[in-house]
Chain A
């Protein structure tokens, strides 16, 4: 009897160690890699990325390891964005979100049902470090739009780059609401940081990305948000009963467009789109550039515009151009003409309302003239004796 118990105990001990081994081995799939190798072997996670150099697409791909990117919002678009950048071997990712993973998120990519209940940043950090342990991942679990958190957010994006005290190289907005976008806009204008805004419509059939370089392109407060015109009759659009629909496809495509342009910007290849829309109903991709509004309400935007105008404007065509004497297109059967981008531009302010076909402003811009008019309605303070805030608070409380 006692020998049988001993035997069983030995088996249990053996199984325990085996279980431990299993647990640890699944969490660390590989060791960290010091340098990215271009060697083409099955065991090199970077061989296909380094091949971009050999194909003359990217110069010095390994620079990606010196880049830090902040991702605000780790939902349907943000999590896939983080996944892609992790697989590309980005140096550092800083994730912001205050939400938890829910089963209702399972129609999107990345998160798995067993992660339900975990904070999105924590769940994402675990998966991402498992996929690529070379990426430094920092997580922040709070809502950036509140007064106390916004200051933490400002400090983080301006000091948590790869070198301590340096700003991040790029901020990616993957949030789902106007308030958070405006908060990111305010922070990036203030810190003079370039950022991409991204979004998917509430009916899940369109998406967009927008590259904002403070002072140089329109900031998010310069004009009402630009949205992809879906040509759906408002009267037939049923909104009753739900706030938002979502599709993994639209979100994945938007994340793809976002990361593609982020990579082009970070590694200087190709042409970065200033605004790129995606209409899923007819597979249309409108594209345009938005000039900043000289009457923007954000004072840091105005400051950045002044700074930008004071800077000598580089001739963009001369930078990074591949030297070639051959004509780009020998024949031109379709009579396609190029129109110079630096052709005289009209007044900057009118520019924000002239949008490319297939796009529209989310709503009409407020009429600047009418802001200070009190119209017929009463205005607070009018003829009232000065009352202290404490008195007002007390009065409200006693009502």
Chain B
């Protein structure tokens, strides 16, 4: 259900401890710190292994996240905007990661460009509440989605290489 390389990536992302959602103002700040620490470590790991693939930042409250992700295909870099909200029920429910510019271009998406995750993602997430955070959602949700969908979209000519990125 999760391949070995994903498992290795996952095991190198620090786990979170605080169970708090954005409605619990005080504790949420603590959780948000953990989120940032895990994300920073994950991006550092990616840089070290030469597989740097995304940047994220949030609003002050940590409820809205946005940034870029990219995918290398035949030595060309394809870049997309990423965005998502932290749901009120977080971390019990995972964030719904969206790539708005691909909305309507693939069937493996829900309205607004939210990526369609595999059957395995939600059970895995549910079993790891509150240890999994945004970094884990990126590694387990968006990374495999890009790996499957982007080459397919390129092959079908639905997305083309843009020189500026």
Contact = CB atoms under 8 A, between A and B. Distances in A.
* Chain A bound to chain B: yes
Given A145-B88, A179-B87, 8 more contacts: A146-B85, A147-B23, A177-B110, A179-B89, A362-B122, A380-B17, A380-B38, A389-B36
A178 B33 contact: no
A396 B127 contact: no
B129 A366 contact: yes
Nearest to A387: B33
Interface stretch (A110-118, A129-137, A165-173, A371-379): A371-379
19 contacts: A145-B93, A146-B63, A146-B87, A147-B22, A147-B85, A178-B122, A179-B87, A179-B93, A182-B87, A243-B107, A374-B15, A375-B15, A377-B13, A379-B14, A379-B16, A379-B17, A380-B41, A381-B17, A392-B40
Interface stretch (B52-60, B72-80, B157-165): B52-60
Residue of A147, A221, A224 with highest tally of chain B CB at under 10 A: A147
A389 B89 contact: no
Contacts of B14: 377-380, 382
Given A145-B87, A364-B123, A380 B23 contact: no
Contacts of A224: 123, 126
Contact of B127 (A143, A242, A363): A363
A165 B119 CA distance: 42
Interface residues of B, number: 51
A54 B12 CA distance: 70
A377 B11 contact: yes
B101 to A, nearest CB: 18
B128 interface: yes
B137 to A, nearest CB: 12
A381 B133 CA distance: 14
B32 interface: yes
A212 to B, nearest CB: 15
A366 B128 CA distance: 7
Given A179-B89, A239-B119, A399 B126 contact: no
A228 to B, nearest CB: 16
A128 interface: no
B123 A363 contact: yes
A364 B11 CA distance: 21
